[in-house]
Amino acid sequence: MADSIPLVDYLVLGDDPHLIAHECTSCGARYFDRRNACAACEGTNFTDVEVPREGVLKTFTIVSFAAPGIPVPFVAGVVDCDGTSVRANVINVDPDPEHVRLGMKVKLATYSVGEDANGVEAVGFGFEPV
């Protein structure tokens, strides 16, 4: 039995954690969720591609009120990974506008979400300043 499980299925754990996207083989549109078809071209064939681990923070917010169990404040944003946009938190940074800036370079990082009753660790991802 695995000791760890990714928070979402598009996070690949191991020595070199990375994200994968489902890329439409007809038009190249990329998605992170399970697909019925391509929203851009109606194609139904997808191939998994690796998303670059570094990117640019193209927008963010610092959230002060969140769902129960989510520590606040935290930084939520969108990272442009060489043309593929990824939704993520910015982690390992002071959550204030002095330390988080539009256009800053960030790279993928993982962290522990917690353990379940069987001792299996769920691992999440975020992006941290380079």
Residues at the contact surface with Zn ion, assessed by CB under 5 A: 24, 26-27, 29, 38, 40-41, 43
Smallest gap from Cβ 107 to another protein, in A, equals: 16
Binding string to another protein for residues 5 to 24, with x set by CB under 8 A, is what?
xxxxxx--------------
Smallest gap from Cβ 15 to another protein, in A, equals: 21
Q: Which residues pair with 2 in a beta bridge?
A: none
CA proximity to 32, closest of 60, 9, 13: 9
Q: Is the dihedral of CA 53, 57, 61, 64 positive or negative?
A: positive
Smallest gap from Cβ 4 to Zn ion, in A, equals: 33
How, if at all, do strands 4-6 and 121-129 pair? parallel
Q: Are 89 and 76 in contact (CB under 8 A)?
A: yes
Q: Indicate which of Zn ion, another protein, none lies near residue 43 (CB less than 5 to 8 Å, by partner kind).
A: Zn ion
Q: Indicate which of Zn ion, another protein, none lies near residue 110 (CB less than 5 to 8 Å, by partner kind).
A: none
